[in-house]
Amino acid sequence: MDMKNRVQLITYADRITGHDLSALDQLLTTQLKSLFSGVHILPFYFPIDGSDAGFDPIDHTQVDPRLGDWQTVRQIGQHSEIMADLIVNHMSAQSEEFLDVLANAEASPYWDLFLKETDIFPAGITQQQAKQIYRPRPGSCFSQKTLNDGRVINFWTTFTDNQIDINVESPAGQAYLERVLTLFAQNGVKIIRLDAAGYAIKRAGTSCFMTDESFAFVDTLSRRANELGMETIAEIHSHFETQIAVANRVNRVYDFALPPLVLHTLFSLNCTALLHWLDIAPRNCLTVLDTHDGIGIIDAGPQGEKPGLLNAAEVDALVEKIHTNSDGQSRLATGAAASNLDLYQVNCTFYDALGQDDFAYLLARAIQFFSPGVPQVYYAGLFAVPNAMALLGKTNVGRDINRPYLTGLDLNEAFERPIVKGLMKLIEFRNTHDAFNGDFSCTGTATTAQLSWQKHGQIAQLNFDLAKMTAEIIIDNGIEKTGFVLADLLVGLS
């Protein structure tokens, strides 16, 4: 299948409505009707409230009963392209499979399902080998688990000690992934997000991240998904050159460099880095500004000796400006300040990262919608919500600052806000103009930019001037030019 080139929604089933999958289904067919062609439903597997908000499934094949069942998922699939997460790299330490391993050791049918230190380092890992491994989190990549017979085993845990890495190269690991893939296909899932796939293959003497073997694994997994009628999206935070390389190996890749570049553009009043990226960025991508994770930074920055789209000083200035714009709230949720393990991102809503400036926020979305790729809008971004400080205070989980629980009353109030109305108008424009199915080009200076799409004489163009902080969208059908000033979307089209 080919993904529709229209705006998609990213959301948790329960956090956008305060309820479940049925409530999400109703929202998509009423107040959000025709606004989104697809919906990325963030992990709805059992349980949704583990140590990583569903990304540590006890049972990847079971819909959490508090949300509904697979029938409700299929119902949503009747009107929306569903994206679901295939959590490739790991599963919960509380899973039936891992508990069986603890109880029965080598006698367990799942013994080979989970990756152990000795699977990759039979003689044990050396300090030098450990230094070579790319770590998204601080500390060791292993967690000690005690078997019922008293033996202590180092299991590979790339992320947390509750997320036990799967040995995806073992027959048990391959059978596990095949079972989940088949279940997805049978229940209307059309797009699969390959969560943490870059970490799935480990080799001694390598970084154990996006190696040649990792690429080959992603290739094979993507082909199998395609055979079952599904597209795949690789979810990888890394240097921009890696993103370009990955884009050649999968159906689509995320443009994670775009969010920090958009912020840098609006903070520094300089388009240069953004225009350079848009000129070389993959075309088969999904664009985002915000997601359930934080605002990624490493995707635009340097890596070792490799220069980035932004230099180290620009990245530092970008991070500090987010902290300033959010009145220090993002600082309380980022890095070691909360129980975060991710050190490569800033936790903040995109709206607060821009200081709740409605025009700047709308311009950021316009840049996203005019950038190459299929746009996705996160539910907190759709409703331009501020940082969820009460939730952060309750959980002390940094990413919860951008994972609010919204009620029906919250949504009703949001739908009346000019910024939400303006964003929805912009989404409708992006969905309906045929030029976005054509060819992209961009030009500009340090302070001005023109992002253009053209198909069969139909042109849609975003022009913005950072020195004047003005923006307009031009529509040209070859006979006449029309369009609108972006700021007018905050008060109604002129």
What are the catalytic residues? 195, 235
Q: Is the dihedral angle over the CA atoms 164, 286, 399, 413 positive or is it negative?
A: negative
Residues 160 and 48: beta-carbon distance below 8 Å = no
Residue 476 marked in a binding site: no
Helix 358-370 to helix 258-268 angle (10° resolution) is 130
Residue 2 marked in a binding site: no
Residue 344 marked in a binding site: yes
Burial letters for 298-315: b for 16+ Cβ neighbours within 10 Å, e otherwise? bbbbbeeeeebbbeeebb
Residue 406 marked in a binding site: no
The full length of the chain comes to: 494
Residue 90 marked in a binding site: yes
Q: Is 396 helix (H, G, I), strand (E, B) or coil?
A: coil
* Residue 358 backbone zone (phi > 0: left; psi -120 to 50: alpha; other: beta): alpha
Token digits of residue 207: 């970084």
CB atoms within 10 A of CB 220: 12
Angle at 3 between CA 256 and CA 76, to 5 degrees: 100
Token digits of residue 21: 């999958």
The DSSP line for 467-478 is: TTTEEEEEEE-S
Residues 61 and 170: beta-carbon distance below 8 Å = no
In 281-405, where does DSSP find H-type helix?
312-325, 329-333, 350-353, 358-370, 379-382, 389-395
What does the alpha-carbon distance between residue 270 and residue 421 come to, in Å, rounded to a whole number? 28
Residue 227 marked in a binding site: no
Residue 434 marked in a binding site: no
Residue 56 marked in a binding site: no
Query: Of 261, 344, 266, which is closest to residue 310 (Cα–Cα)?
Result: 261
Report in angstroms the alpha-carbon separations of 178 from 112, 199, 253, 439.
16, 18, 22, 37
| DSSP 8-state class, residue 11 | E
Residue 345 marked in a binding site: yes
CB atoms within 10 A of CB 62: 15
Token digits of residue 331: 């600082």
Report in angstroms the alpha-carbon separations of 107 from 96, 111, 172, 290, 324.
15, 7, 14, 45, 56
Token digits of residue 414: 């949001």
Q: Is the dihedral angle over the CA atoms 202, 204, 208, 211 positive or is it negative?
A: negative
Residue 194 marked in a binding site: yes
Residue 235 marked in a binding site: yes
Residues 261 and 255: beta-carbon distance below 8 Å = no
Q: Which segments are annotated as binding site for substrate?
A: 52, 90, 193-195, 235, 292-293
Binding residues for sucrose: 342-345, 399
Annotated binding site: 52, 90, 193-195, 235, 292-293, 342-345, 399
